Chains A and B, each alone.
Chain A
Amino acid sequence: MKIPLSYSFKNLWTRKVTTIMTLGGVGLVVFVFCAVLMLAAGLERTLVATGSDDNAIILLKSAESETLSQIPLDVTDILASQPEVAVGSDGKPILSREVMTMINLQKKGTTSSDLANINVRGVSPAGVALRPQIKITEGRMFNFGTSELIVSQKIISGFEGARLGGALKFGGRNWNIVGLFDGGNSAFSSEIWADNSQIMQAFNRQEAFSDIIFRLKNTEGLNSLKSKIEADPRLNNFKVLHEKDFYAAESEELAAFIRILGMVITIIFSFGAMIGAMITMYAAVANRTVEIGTLRALGFRRRSVLGAFLFESLFLALIGGGIALCAAFFLTFLSVSTTNFTTWSEISFNFALSPGIVMATLIFSIIMGFVGGFLPSFRASRLDIITALRSS
């Protein structure tokens, strides 16, 4: 007992200009909605990918970022000798004492006063093995004990002054860039790496590392280490966490910011687009009053009429949503670089599209179509047959 769907399609097609305008309104809103979700997801994905399940990190309890953490050398030694730390084939613990600091680089295409903070990570020899994401793509790994650096490719392409074979000046010396690396979709792709002891000398902070990263012998080890640290008065100023949890937490603030701001804005102007859809659908109902009367006279029920108009509106919104999704897909090729409010350093990440976001976007557009189309469709179905037939 349904009015054929082709009736709805063809009506949309007949009113091409109006349909396109409504599609445009719905599409723009859905696009912004989707882009915001992708941005927040991209940031989270990048930071989650930075951590590994097998690794743990120890920092100062109060520190939200590695830069602000400090662990004195003697404490580091106590921690490094814990049985929870995995031991490599060479008999040494798989553990990296790291020092995290920042330097200023100028973003490409900005003025010289627009400086971004780039993380510089000093690592122990085990540091690279702990991060399988890191792959040297050009040049070679730096030699320990020298002023050599490896730099992420993204930094080379996004900032002035860094190139393979060149040098960067900071901490009172010149550092030679001997290799480029790809950190994949992780925060490492926004970093510069060097020998930890060289960085500590240059920045005159030999008394403390920033944090310790190590491989866990087994995953349960984390809890026993946690309670040990809590109980030891020399250590209870520090915290141990899964590396993954730590980096994921670093994304929280900025991701929440993007999401809240984005959602507030898109919800507000989804009302604009819904009203646009509503105007279109009301006009469609008004223009087709006689048709509706005729359909009803032929014996179609009220709910068939309601269904046909609602479908028209849902279809319109879904097409708008689909177009927006296609456009949003191209965003995944875009990389965004901004300051993370938690670390105050630059982080670069991609828009990330996930099945969840596709679903959320489609549901969002369906809701817009439903809300925008329901009242007009309801009016269409409530029209009195006789009056409808008489109007022209």
Chain B
Amino acid sequence: MADAIVQVQNVSKIYKRDTMQIPILQNFSLSIPEAEFMALMGPSGSGKTTLMNLIAGIDKPTSGTVTVAGTNIGALNESQLAAWRSQHVGFIFQFYNLLPVLTAFENVELPLLLTKLSKKERKEHVETALSVVGLADRMQHYPKQLSGGQEQRVAIARAIVTDPTVIIADEPTGDLDKKSADDILDLLVRLNTEFKKTIVMVTHDPHAAERAHVTRHLDKGELQ
């Protein structure tokens, strides 16, 4: 598996609540090849969100290593990790998490503010990303002026605008109606096939999972 873009090796994650230790993942390993579209399924508490957080670099394993595009992200400190995330990870959340006070354009531009791109370059990137998701005509709209599906598409544009190594989607269709959900899934499939993006999608929805290349089931911290 030399061409794996994400390598999770012997990872354990134990949460401490007062004196109790709650193991979520134990000696867990997984590798995801480049340009994969993987769906992660499993009941609540199965560890799928923890796994996603570890890959995204917003959480650190208790032991073991997580390597993404050759970087052992467990070895990075707080601010290195922040910088790493801005370059390598694109997030898509269940509730979109757009900043309500910023327009669609500004929301998508946000991660680009962490790069050295000029204002003009940023504008080009944002416009490209928004046209990929089909919202080129909604750039100046605020989140509350958009429908749920549109909001999620803005969030996807924000996730792809930096051209990240991995796109992490946490229940991207969880809050949407069937039609909008299908649109979002179409978009993710397109990103995967057309732009060769590696996508890890956590979902409850078997319909959504069907659209991925592979579906992995997680239960009690183990792959089924």
Binding site for B on A (CB under 8 A): 1-4, 6-7, 10-11, 13-14, 290-291, 293-302, 385-386, 389, 392
In the complex the two chains form, is A389's CB within 8 Å of B82's CB?
A: no
B58 neighbours in A (Cβ, 8 Å): 296-297, 385-386, 389
Q: Among A6, A14, A385, A389, point to the contact of B100 (Cβ < 8 A).
A: A14
In the complex, the number of residue pairs spanning A and B with C-beta atoms less than 8 Å apart equals 71
Q: Among B56, B59, B82, B89, point to the contact of A300 (Cβ < 8 A).
A: B82
Closest to B101 in A: A10
Docked pose: A186 CA to B79 CA in angstroms: 62
A6 neighbours in B (Cβ, 8 Å): 102, 106
Docked pose: A256 CA to B102 CA in angstroms: 50
Docked pose: A7 CA to B58 CA in angstroms: 23
Binding site for A on B (CB under 8 A): 53, 56, 58-59, 78-79, 82-87, 89, 91, 93, 95, 97, 99-102, 106, 110-111, 113-114, 158
Docked pose: A300 CA to B184 CA in angstroms: 26
B86 CB to nearest A CB, Å: 3
Docked pose: A112 CA to B100 CA in angstroms: 64
In the complex the two chains form, is B113's CB within 8 Å of A2's CB?
A: yes
Docked pose: A14 CA to B78 CA in angstroms: 31
In the complex the two chains form, is A386's CB within 8 Å of B110's CB?
A: no
B111 neighbours in A (Cβ, 8 Å): 298-299
Query: Nearest 8 CB-CB pairs, A to B?
Result: A299-B86, A10-B101, A299-B85, A294-B97, A385-B58, A301-B82, A298-B111, A299-B82
What are 7 A-B pairs at a CB distance below 8 A? A3-B113, A14-B100, A290-B95, A294-B97, A295-B110, A297-B56, A301-B78
Docked pose: A7 CA to B110 CA in angstroms: 10
Known: A297-B58, A302-B78, A386-B58. A291 touches B99 (CB 8 A): yes
In the complex the two chains form, is A298's CB within 8 Å of B95's CB?
A: no
B93 neighbours in A (Cβ, 8 Å): 294, 389
B39 CB to nearest A CB, Å: 20
In the complex the two chains form, is A389's CB within 8 Å of B101's CB?
A: no
A297 neighbours in B (Cβ, 8 Å): 56, 58, 85, 89, 91
Known: A297-B58, A298-B110. A11 touches B101 (CB 8 A): yes
Known: A299-B85, A302-B78. A386 touches B106 (CB 8 A): no
In the complex the two chains form, is B102's CB within 8 Å of A298's CB?
A: no
Docked pose: A295 CA to B86 CA in angstroms: 10
B87 CB to nearest A CB, Å: 7
B97 neighbours in A (Cβ, 8 Å): 290-291, 293-294, 389
In the complex the two chains form, is A294's CB within 8 Å of B99's CB?
A: yes
Closest to B100 in A: A14
Docked pose: A332 CA to B153 CA in angstroms: 57
Docked pose: A14 CA to B101 CA in angstroms: 7
Known: A299-B82, A299-B89. 20 other contacts (CB 8 A): A4-B113, A7-B99, A7-B101, A7-B102, A290-B95, A294-B93, A295-B110, A296-B58, A296-B82, A297-B56, A297-B91, A298-B111, A298-B158, A299-B85, A299-B87, A299-B111, A301-B79, A301-B82, A386-B53, A389-B97
Known: A297-B56, A299-B87, A386-B59. A392 touches B95 (CB 8 A): yes
B86 neighbours in A (Cβ, 8 Å): 298-300
